[in-house]
Structure 1
Amino acid sequence: MVGIILASHGQFAAGIKQSGQMIFGEQEKVEAVTFMPDEGPDDLHKHLEDAIAKFDPDDEVLFLIDLWGGSPFNQANSIYEAHKDKWAIVTGLNLPMLIEAYGSRLSMDSAQDIAAHLLDAGREGIKIKPESLDKVTKPAAQAAPTTSNAGQPGSLEYVLARVDSRLLHGQVATTWTKTTNPTRIIVVSDSVAKDDLRKNLIKEAAPAGVKAHVIPIDQMIKIAKDDKHFGGQRALLLFETPEDALRAIEGGVPLKELNIGSMSHSVGKVQPNKVLAFDQKDIDTFHQLEKDGVKFDVRKVPADHAENMDAILKKAQDELNAQK
């Protein structure tokens, strides 16, 4: 695995490391190096060397640094020179760049290959509203690649189905899309389909190269029964509630597993862990899904360890019973 050094003036490197973990999960071989006001270049150089020493001797190193020409860059560059055949430095560090670096390590084992890939991610992460202020002419987007069975009936592939009250947000748009590689993200919800503002926000949040849609549950059921217009497409489905997922599955959407990401707390619900809240209807819905043969993968991001859904449901039921 390529080791990553985040280096910055002040605490920026430590902060962006924490932000990246919130979105992509805990990461191995990532070190943050901060250059504080009371330190000199020699202190910074030692911090960098100490961080590198935490990696394996044969690991390649990728430096992600805040500013070209600043002290963190200069000191990293002095170390890089002895390894420039394999190591790499990228400056202008931002969160989209860091998330892309984490995702790239899943399929790339060269620091320089990752570095070259990160340039576009860093630039694409800079957006503006109103869009009319962006005077840069962008090249036409390339069509998403299709598989060899493109155009064949019955070929819509479900790469992930997730219950998440937040729907399309950072963890979905980055980590899950990188690990499942969908061509379409489909929010399946009657309530969201009636809300033009939420629909527009979801479409704007889609990552580059992936189309986002918001459709009612009955429409998803119809598509599942006759998907001849979606040959070669890979779909990531998002449900706001387990009840919506149950209705879709019992209506004919062929899902055998649900990823459980988050369920927001509201009055009358209990919260047996940090991100999942249940009322009695939710618990009964999950039990019915189990009876229907659906398995549960309880993880916020792919790097997390899956939790035991039966244990979570039992704890939620006990807490509800205790309220009576």
Structure 2
Amino acid sequence: MVIFCRVDDRMLHGQVAVTWVNQIAPDAILIANDEAATNEMSKMAFKMAKPAGVKLAIKTIKDAGILLNDPRTEKTKIFILVKTVQDALELVKATGSQIKKVNIGGVKKKEGSRQVLPNVHMNEKDLKALRELHSIVSRIELQMVPGETKTDVNKIL
């Protein structure tokens, strides 16, 4: 069962491994990103950053969808990390109604992007995916850390 889905371009790093994991207490972390799933160096770094006592799976978006749709994962509290809004959108489409809320954390500056919040930069492709995602999931919030005030997605759309 999905308990939290977060967009963070760094995916699993110290802030996520400590602050978010302590806040939501997952049984497992699922990193869903095509590039990460095929990059041995990234996989090794994520395994090193994984908190003790929490399982870790690193899958392509397609394989993550298959895993989440498997009835054997129904009782596992899963924290999903994706790199981009597009990854979140693809995964939501692949899993039906399992992901009801998406949290957006750090999204670094890239060509053609503009800053929408202090640590969130989006280009037109991101905003288009965000609008579509917003039409599918019930809630999208922007928040770097659990103690920070949540910003509703409507403020940037």
> TM-score, normalized by length of structure 2?
0.93
- Pair 1:165 & 2:18 matched: no
Sort the Cα spacing of 1:205 and 1:199 in 2 relative to 1 into closer, same or farther, 3 A: same
**Which residue number corresponds to residue 50 of structure 2?**
206
Alignment of 1:249-288 (within 5 A): 249-253=92-96, 254-288=98-132
Q: How far off its partner does 1:295 sit?
A: 1.1
- Pair 1:224 & 2:60 matched: no
**Which residue number corresponds to residue 150 of structure 2?**
306
Q: How far off its partner does 1:292 sit?
A: 1.2
Extract structure 1 runs of 4+ deviating beyond 6 A: none
Which range is displaced more, 288-297 or 212-221? 288-297
- Contact 1:203/1:211, CA 8 A, preserved across alignment: no
Deviations 1:23-79 (A, max 9, x none): xxxxxxxxxxxxxxxxxxxxxxxxxxxxxxxxxxxxxxxxxxxxxxxxxxxxxxxxx
Alignment counterpart, residue 233 of structure 1, candidates 57, 76, 91: 76
How far apart in 2 are the matches of 1:207 and 1:241?
A: 22
**Which residue number corresponds to residue 90 of structure 2?**
247
Alignment counterpart, residue 289 of structure 1, candidates 125, 128, 133: 133
> TM-score, normalized by length of structure 1?
0.47
Which range is displaced more, 212-221 or 195-204? 212-221
Identity over the aligned pairs, expressed in percent? 28
Amino acid corresponding to residue 205 of structure 1 in structure 2: A
How far apart in 1 are the matches of 2:95 and 2:146?
A: 27
Deviations 1:105-159 (A, max 9, x none): xxxxxxxxxxxxxxxxxxxxxxxxxxxxxxxxxxxxxxxxxxxxxxxxxxxx212
How far apart in 1 are the matches of 2:101 and 2:152?
A: 14
The CA RMSD over aligned residues, in Å, is 1.3
Deviations 1:225-250 (A, max 9, x none): 2232x353211000000101101111
* 2:149 aligned counterpart, secondary structure: coil
* 1:165 aligned counterpart, secondary structure: coil
- Contact 2:4/2:79, CA 8 A, preserved across alignment: yes
Deviations 1:242-277 (A, max 9, x none): 101101111125101001111111111111221101
Query: Which structure 1 segments of 5+ residues have no match?
Result: 1-156, 314-324
- Pair 1:196 & 2:40 matched: yes
* 2:80 aligned counterpart, secondary structure: strand
- Contact 2:2/2:77, CA 8 A, preserved across alignment: yes
- Contact 1:163/1:240, CA 8 A, preserved across alignment: yes
* 1:272 aligned counterpart, secondary structure: strand
* 2:122 aligned counterpart, secondary structure: coil
Amino acid corresponding to residue 84 of structure 2 in structure 1: T
How far apart in 2 are the matches of 1:209 and 1:167?
A: 18
Q: How many residues align?
A: 156
How far apart in 2 are the matches of 1:259 and 1:231?
A: 21
Q: More relative contact order in 1 or in 2 (CA 8 Å, sep 6+)?
A: 2
* 1:212 aligned counterpart, secondary structure: strand
How far apart in 2 are the matches of 1:303 and 1:177?
A: 13
Amino acid corresponding to residue 201 of structure 1 in structure 2: A
How far apart in 2 are the matches of 1:302 and 1:212?
A: 21
